[in-house]
Structures are given as structure tokens and as C-alpha cells.
Chain A
Amino acid sequence: MATASSSGLSSDLAGGADTIVARATPAGRGALAMIRISGSAAAEIAGVVCPAADFSSGWRASLAALLDSTGRVLDHGVVIPYPAPRSYTGEDMFEVTVHGAPYLVEGLIDACVTAGARRAQPGEFTRRAVANGKLDLVQAEAIRDLVAAETAWQLRNAREQLAGALSEAFGGLRKELVDLLAALEASLDYEAQGVEVPQEDLAEKIASCRGAVGRLVSTAGAGQRIRDGAGVVILGPPNAGKSTLFNLLCGTERAIVSPHPGTTRDVIEAEIDIDGVRMVLRDTAGLRAEGDRVESEGHRRAVGAAAAADLVILMWPLGGARGEDPPDAPSGVAVIPVRSKADLGDHETAPAGWLAVSCHTGQGIDRLRARLAEAVAGEISDLGGAVAIAARHRRSLECAARDLDGCDPRHPELATEHVRWAVRSVDELIGDICTEDVLDAIYRDFCVGK
């Protein structure tokens, strides 16, 4: 179908035929590379590019000669046809695995383009899978996160989201909202039939929906920690060994360490992975009342970082700082209290609740790691898979929450408006209602070939 030029569609939307081709493995030289082709002309293109492979015997690998655009043999490769609808996109598809020479891969893609395919946009395969009902939008986002996963928790969450845990939670919420809507509508439309819906029933249903939205919103914080990492701030008096601990947890010499108090003057951060949980660790300037202007600015920033953190490691050195009062813990943030320099503490033991560590001997460091992972992941594992992870999810859920807050069962025709909008917010989440902008934003982060 060579309609592109005649219809004048801009190149990024329709380069011509509706069959797309892309390399699915990373660019560059490799042992193997895979390209995939999807669309109504896939079988036809396979007939040109790898005529020896039998497209009709789907889901079976076969070794076939691959022909370039002039019909010469490029190489041999493994071809797997996926006849529609049992394919990733729901369309006719096939995948070719070849030796990973960039020249070879390009030649094969060229051959497909000559045979009628066009190069795919990032995320276009997944976009087609959504359009054809193979995935919903939330699952499509999971695919993106799965490909991008760098920690065990990110992987696990993306996998559960792909399996439908979050889609189900959103679907359940939608159903409850629609039930509420039905009750409200019944109270408006059936007076003539003698049907009465008690106001208390409506109030109860509204509260229940609001609770369900609230629970999902509350997972958004954990979702963000899984995706972007939990913020962990090391806080304590000067010369408590904060930077030494920071370097030890990072496994690098990021922070400058010296025996002089006040060496660290700004907030230094690094991403770390502890037991599959991503954390953004921040080292801060020591807390003390006096000091020069730079130091007191550092103090201010340290307190600010702690207030914004998910978790604070509060350090109080043993030994050298004997007799001093423990530093004040910031309020409203989870704290792991740590007594550092345990090797210098003679026979002094850490008071109850304080974890004794020594960066010098490594004492207590494994326990600290375990406490950190538990403090962040312990909460996540309670969520059972339905974790609202994207900022998009949070925005829609918060919209729904606001609308439900505006529902007054004494004014059902107005409450109905709010619930209709709340349903709409949830529809946007699932992808039943979508603007092109939202779709573009979601698929922009995809790789080509996915």
C-alpha cells in the first residue's frame, strides 16, 4: 500500500505501508542481533526476505537464507513467524535472529523496507499491541519499565504490573465507581416508578470508593521509591564518620574524608542498590550550631535533605564524642539510629535501639544494609503487586480523589457529575480514554523495536 506520498502524511506518522520493521537488540556489534517485522504485509515480506521459511507454520523456528534487497544471500538466520492474532502486536509478525554485525542487520532491514515495510517508531510495536487489545496501557507501561529495570524490585514490580495486578486494581476501582454511579442515577431517574435509594446508602458507597482511591494513592509513594529510588540521608554531628560510611555503602571514594570536622560542606549523592532496592544515598554536612557561613549553609542543606528523605541514618559516634547528647532526630521521617566508630568505644555499648557500626572494622555494616533494605522494601512487599508507579497514575488518582471529596449525597445530580469525572480519570489510567499527548508521552520512553 503505497499511500504515504499520495496522502501526504508527515513522515513520523505514516511512512507508507502499515508494516513496520526494527532491530530489537541494542545497536552496535554483538554476537547475535534480532529484528522484528509486524503488520498485514509481514507474511509477504517474509516471502521476499527469507523465502525458505514457511510463514504458515507459525511459532516454529527454522534456519533460512536471508536475501538482501537485490536478492543475494546476506547470511543465514533463525526465523520465527507469529501469525495473527497470536503475536506480541496481535498482527502478523516474524522475528529474525542473525549474527550481530551492524552491516548485516542494516542490510536485512533495508531488504524489508524494499519489500514494503517501514522503519518503526520507538514503542510502535507495543502501541499496536495496545490498539489490538493484547495489552492495556498500564501493562504497556510495565513493558517499558521491565526493559528499563535495574534492580530486583523494579523487575518484580514491572512483572506484576505486566501480569495485570495494577490493571486489576484500577479495573476494580472503576467497577466500584460505576456501581456508585448506578445508585446515584437510580435515585434520579426512577421517582415515577416508586424506587427510592436511601441517602445513607449513597454516602456509604461514596466513602468506600474514596477509600479505594486513597489506598491506591498511598501506594504511589512506594511506587516512586521503586522506580526512582528511596532517598536515604546520612545525618549527624561533624566528624561522626558520615562520609566514611557513605563511601563504604557506595563502594567508591566519592566523598572526601579527613580527620578534621566540617570537611563535607554540601550534600553529595550517589545511587546504590541494596538487596535489589534502589536508594539514592546522600551525605551531608555535620550538624552544629556554630561555624563559618559556608558551614552553616551546609547545615541548613543537611536539615533540608533530611526533611525530604524517605529514610535517615542518624549517626552518633561512640568513643571520641563521649558525653555529648545524641543529635536530634528529624520528625516525620523514618530513622535508623547508628552509633559509629564502635571500634573506638572501649567497653561502652550502644544504648538500646542504636546500631553499633564501625566503618574501620566493618562491624555492624551488614546489619545496617539489612535494616536499610527492610525499611524500604518491607513496606513495598506489603502492597501485593498493585503499586501505582508512574506519576501519571498518581495524577489521575488524585483527580479522582478530589472529585470524590466533592460528592454530596444530598445533591445527587451534582454528585453524579463528580463520579462521572472520577470514572473518566480511571479510564485515562487504563487507557480507555486518552489524548494523543498522553500516548506520545508514554511511548516516547520506549526503545525502537519494542
Chain B
Amino acid sequence: MADADLVVVGGGHAGCEAAAAAARLGVSVILVTLHQSTMAQMPCNPAIGGIGKGHLVAEVDALGGLQGWAADRAGIQFRVLNRSRGPAVWGPRAQCDKVVYSRLLRRVVGGLRGVTVVEAEVGDLVVDGGRVRGVILGGGRLLRADAVILTTGTFLGGVLHTGALRRPGGRLGEQPSSTLGSALAARGIELRRYKTGTPPRLSRQSLDLEKLEIQEGDADPRPFSWRSRGVENRSVCWLTRTPRKVQKIIAGNIHRSPLFSGTIEGVGPRYCPSIEDKVVRFPHHERHTVFLEPEGLDSDSIYVNGLSTSLPTDVQDDVIHSIPGLESAAVLQYGYAVEYDVVAPGQVAANLESRALHGLFFAGQLLGTSGYEEAAGLGLLAGVNAAQGLRGARPLAPAREEAYLGVLVDDVTGRDHREPYRMFTSRAEHRLVLGVDSARERLMEHGHRLGLVSERAFHVERERWRRRETARAALEETRLNPDAATRSAVRRAAAIDLTTPSSWAQILRRQDVDAEAVAAGLGAFDGLSAEDRRIVIGRLRYDGYLARHERERQRLHRLRHIPIPGDLDPGGVPGLSREVVEAMARDQPRTLADAERLPGMTPAALAIIAGALSRRGGFG
């Protein structure tokens, strides 16, 4: 008799989304966490979103996940990054109250029907005939279940480093998970060592605010979630820059950093370098920006963004006190690095299930990612797919051209990575169609179908899309003839001379027209919110580019529906390299899209396979 349908191991951002999604799909869930009090913690920066990451939050929200809603509720400052660029790369970000955020999620997830939270360590899996059947807890207690999702974060074999000081730990003050790693290895799952770090925390009272530059939130703060009505800025952030002296301080102590002394073997993220990394790698950059972010409204703790380090504490003191505004700063917590085990790529299928053990799913940092948003996205998908698997239903696996979530899953499961994986907009080939403002149009239908998005919310959104479509059609249809009256009207409205008959859509597409200002006076936009108006204009301006993407999207869509018959002998297809033939024979892809994910597969090889299939008469 099973204790639950599903056991989720870990209560972080991945574990919470996984448990919540699965439970809402009607599956009984036991969530096992080392400490109930640290569920959904933000052990690093007190913020959700950003460039690429904000896109993930929007997609998780469109699918009915919790992260965006929790960030709206716990948010104390809201900013859209990249505002000077085009809307596709706008990255909404919310500075959050850590305590509020963690408490919110803990309460919501723990209170969901079908979720039981158990405080324990998981020591091993129960496996029977290639299928996972549950977990064994630290004390030897058995939890039987038909599926297990592992979201161990930085806890698997976790080791903390501060200078030469080295101690086991998943986060500061928390013991790591020690036996599960070797249990996984014993079951043939290959692990790999990664490293990440976090900067010091300072006492707000000890900062000289006069010397710091204030960073305000947006004048029109906007929520992430369709569940939220509105949000407001309740705090500011500050910024300062490291002085030249910092280079000297670090250079004189570089041998004491475990990153450079060789104590840390794990591979750290290049995009989030420690201050010692930055000084060594960019010696010509004399100053590095440091952002000071409050960790909560009532908290005295300030997160020092940009000063991630694992130098010894005395050096950290020297560095901090050399920075303008931080001369007499009191350190509440020193920066440290953590090394941990992740599942090496190539062992997990697109539904996040282990290729070796049926019913075993992975999500979050264990898959080699970094960041709360990546974790939440993977957690949501793992939760949905574990539940779908238990019900014998189709998995949710968005494609690369459909969602950042698709890019994320494809990259961490199908491609090799050598450092913690963080989302960037540059990872998405179809960036222009994957803007935050289209997340709901792309994904909400899936959330609704699964039952994670309410009928009412879906209806409200659909109405918005319809109004935008109507406005757009009106702009395309209105023809303006360059007669004297129209010309002067257009000159007044758009500051351009109309010489040929045009539609308003054509005029708004022009880069020399201030489209926002013109659109405000157009009847086509009556009844549309300012945000919807902006979305319509943004898409007009991307039109020429979207046509190319649409062709590519259709091509990929076709690939996904071209089956590769089981009797196709890859060795008999001329022009394929031995590596591709071997990968095809080993992994037996069932569609061309599966074949595309094989290691060693090139677009040229894929074209050859497509050609071979088309000549067989498989598709036209």
C-alpha cells in the first residue's frame, strides 16, 4: 500500500512548485524537507525575475504556477530591466521580502489538499525492476510512492567554503544531504560537481546612505501574475562602486581564495563571477558596480549584489570597508561558496524523468541550473509530468520556439553544460516571439487544460487577446490617402509627411515615428489599456522579423510530426557520420524532433534523415 502517489524530495522553489502542481492535478503528495522552516527560502539574492529570468516567471505564472504571485505579494520594489530596448527583452524583476515570500509559499503549499509535509532526510530510493517505488528516510522509515521528484538544490554532497574554512553544508547553518548522492551513484546515475557562491550581508543601520546612489522602482510598477491586481513600491535600493584599492586588496590575498588555491574543484558560473574572479579576469576594469538590496521591509539585512566571494573573512572586511558608503559597515553574514552534486546531462528525458529509472523525476539545481526562476520552472514541469505519468496522460513539454521553459528543458536535458545554467534571452533562438507580454497567449491554454488556471481567468485573458486583435486589424485596414487634409493631420499626429497611401499600421511601424504618442490619439485603440496598446505597437514593429520566425516555427512543427519508423536502418542512409548512426541506433528517436536532440546531431545530418524519410514517402 503506497503512502502517497508522489514523493517530492526538497522544499525549495522547485519542490514547492512541483508539489503544488501535482496536488492540484489530483495526485497525493508527500513533500520531504530537511527543515520546514526554510521552505521556499531565498538563500542568495532577495529578488525574483530579471532578464531571461523574468520571462520564466511569466511563463510559470501563465501555466498556473505560484512564483509570480508570491513575488507580487512579497515584492517591495518592482523594475523592468532593459526598458530602453525592445519589448521582447524587457525583464521584470521584483525585490522581495524574503521572510514574507518564504512564509507565503510554505503556507500555500502546506495547506493544499493532498499535500503532506514531512520533516526528514531522504537517504535512498526504493527501486523495483527499473521503477522507483518510494524513498527510505534517514531513520530507516519507508515512504512508498509510485513516483519521486528529487529537488535537492545545493544539498547533495554540499560543502561550504569561506577562505580555508571548509565544512559540510547545504546552506549556511544547514546540514547537507550526505547519503542520497552515493545512493544515486550506486544506481548508475552519474553526478557532476558544481559550485556557486553568495555575497556578504550587511547591516542597513551601519551604511552611510548619504554616499550611496538611490535606485528607485518603476513609476508604474506591474505585477507578474494574472492572480494579482496591482503592486506597489515600498522600498528603494542603492548602488555604489568598488574603488581601485579593491584590486590591490584582492591581489594581495588571492592565494587565500579557495577558488584560486585549488580547494574548490566544482565549476562556478562565468556570468555570476565572484569579486575575486572579476578582479583577476578584468584587471582593466577599475571599478565594479555594487548593488545594495534590502532583504525585507522590516529586515536590517542588506544583500551586496556584485560582491559574491569566498575569500577569508578578514579580507572580506577589508574589501567591504574600502567601498564608499560601506566604510563602517557591520557584516551580518560573510560571503561563502558552496559545492554540490548535480545530475550530469544526458540522463534525463524531456519530461524530466530519469532515462534509467522509471517514475524518478529531477528538478531545480540538481539538474545543473542556478536561480529560483529556473528551479520553479523545472519544478512546475516535473510536478505536472509526474502527475501526468501517474494518470497515463501526455506530458507537458513546451518546445524551444514556444517558451523559455522549452529552451530551459531542452538545454539542461539535451545538451552538455559545464557550469550552473542560468537563463539568458540569448539562449532563445525565437526571442522575439517569446516576450514576457506574450507568455499567457503562448501557455495559458495549457495551464487551463490541466486545471491549473481557472476558467474565469482564462476567459478574461482571451477577451484581452481578442481586443488586441481587433485593434490591430483596424490599424491595418484604415487607408490614409495623402490628400491635403490627411497629410496635415498625419503631420500633426506623427510628425511625418505622408506621400503614399498608407495604413496606420504602416505608419506606426516606422522607426522615425513616436508610435506610443501617435497611438494615444487613435480611435483603433479605444477601450484598450495602455499596456495592451503598447503590446499591439510592439508587435507591429516586430512584424517583418516574425514572418521569418513563423516559417522556422512551422518547419520545426512539421519535424515534430514526422515519425521515424522503427525499421529505418540509419546505417543504410548515406551521408550520415558514424557518430550520428550510432546515436540513432542507441536512442531510437521516434520523430525527427527527437533525432534533433541526439548528441552529435547536426542540422545537415537531420536534413539527410529528413530527405531519406521523404523519399520513402513518409511525408510530403
Contacts and interface: CB of A to CB of B under 8 A. Distances in A.
B620 interface: no
A242 to B, nearest CB: 50
A436 B605 CA distance: 9
Most buried by B among A1, A10, A14, A127: A14
B615 A12 contact: yes
B52 to A, nearest CB: 7
A421 B429 CA distance: 11
Contacts of B574: 13-14, 18, 20, 121, 124, 127-128
Interface range on chain A (Cβ under 8 Å from partner) = 35 or more
Interface in B588-620: 602-605, 607-608, 610-612, 614-616
B572 A18 contact: yes
A190 B271 CA distance: 9
A203 interface: no
Interface stretch (A54-62, A69-77, A410-418): A410-418
B51 A10 contact: no
Contacts of A40: 571
Interface in B396-435: 424-426, 429, 431-432
Interface residues of B, number: 52
A193 B278 CA distance: 12
Interface stretch (A245-253, A261-269, A359-367, A426-434): A426-434
A172 interface: no
Contacts of A421: 548
Given A412-B85, A413-B88, A193 B306 contact: yes
Contact of A133 (B51, B569, B577): B577
Which of B86, B580, B603 neighbours the largest number of chain A CB atoms within 10 Å of its CB? B603
B572 A194 contact: no
Contacts of A185: 424-426
Contact of A411 (B86, B91, B426, B573): B86
Nearest to A406: B544
A14 B272 CA distance: 51
Interface string B557-581: 0000000010111011111111010
Contact of A439 (B572, B573, B604): B604
Contacts of A3: 567, 569, 571-572
B85 A435 contact: no
A223 interface: no
B616 A439 contact: no
Contacts of A328: none
A436 B608 contact: yes
A403 to B, nearest CB: 10
B93 interface: yes
A16 B571 CA distance: 10
Contacts of B429: 420
B127 interface: no
A416 B428 CA distance: 12
Interface in B247-274: 271-272
Given A194-B306, A414-B545, A436-B610, A7 B568 contact: yes
Contacts of B51: 188-192
B616 A9 contact: yes
A188 B81 contact: no
Given A131-B576, A132-B577, A188 B568 contact: no
Given A14-B572, A193-B272, 14 more contacts: A1-B569, A3-B569, A8-B567, A13-B572, A127-B574, A192-B50, A192-B51, A194-B288, A194-B291, A412-B85, A417-B432, A417-B548, A436-B608, A439-B608
18 contacts: A3-B567, A9-B569, A9-B572, A10-B616, A14-B572, A18-B572, A131-B580, A131-B608, A189-B426, A191-B51, A191-B82, A191-B91, A193-B306, A413-B89, A413-B432, A434-B603, A439-B575, A439-B604
- The 7 tightest CB contacts between A and B, nearest first, are A436-B611, A194-B289, A14-B572, A185-B426, A434-B604, A3-B569, A433-B603
